[in-house]
Structure 1
Amino acid sequence: MDKREKIISSYIQAYNSFDVPKMTANFSDKIIFTNIQNGETSMTLNGIEEFKKQAELAKTYFSERQQIVKAIKHKGEKSQIEIEYYGVLAIDFPNGMKKGQEIRLNGTSIFEFSEDEIIKLTDIS
């Protein structure tokens, strides 16, 4: 496992255990996070403080969550992972999804690195 794969693995483990400080341990202070759902950008965060604030809020949405890495590809400064996602909602959502409902989906995360720091993270589902 190369250094980038170790960093990504650490991020995924921290995500699965709701550990925001460990999730962001290898993030640049200027991290750019983008979430794309159904081909549309649903969220863009600029900087580590915005990311941490959103990550702390997102912890309240799920009673459990898990990302499982199915594949990883490296190209230049980018690493793309294919993930299988599972979560259980901890609250009711305005879109009609209810507390206790399970979510299962497949997605892609693209990590962009500058040396050993993640400078950009894009989640696509």
Structure 2
Amino acid sequence: MNNVDKQKLEVIKSYINAYNSFDVKGMIKNLSSDIIFKNITNDTVDLVTNGVDEFKTQAEKAVSFFSQREQKIINAIQENDIITIGIDYTGTLAIDLPNGLKEGEILEMQGKSIFRFEGLQIIEINDIS
């Protein structure tokens, strides 16, 4: 993480801390009004939001899925205005999901999140697991 822009990394850490705390307002504070968010699972895009309002609606809905969740940054690499972070993820389900996962089950996975910046504003996030 040594060669990563410190201010941008702080913006990412603020976003992750807000995510871990179920703080949607904190999550969106450094997002562009035109934010594009994509969730990619097993090389398939399974969620896309366009704009901060769609992002906020999805983030508020996702809050109800977990009783606990935590993303830990394990590394960060920067290329121009893009920072890719490695993530260790743990979450405890608060509800039964349509895919068969049950309330109380603990999800553990590794993935990465790609943040694209314009200045110190996040304009795109790709969550990949």
Q: TM-score, normalised by structure 1?
A: 0.99
Partner SS state of residue 50, structure 1: helix
Matches within 5 A, 1:1-125: 2-125=6-129
Q: How many residues align?
A: 125
Residue segments in structure 2 that go unaligned for 5+ positions in a row: none
Q: Residue type of the partner of 1:74?
A: Q
CA distances 1:51-80 after superposition (whole Å, capped 9, x unpaired): 000000000000000000000011001000
Name the CA distance, whole Å, in 1 between partners of 2:71 and 2:27. Answer: 13
Report the alpha carbon displacement of residue 94 of structure 1 after superposing the two structures with TM.
1.1
Partner SS state of residue 98, structure 1: coil
Superposition RMSD in Å: 0.7
Q: Residue type of the partner of 1:90?
A: A
Identity %: 45
Q: Residue type of the partner of 1:60?
A: S
Q: TM-score, normalised by structure 2?
A: 0.96
Runs of 4+ more than 3 Å apart: none
Residue segments in structure 1 that go unaligned for 5+ positions in a row: none
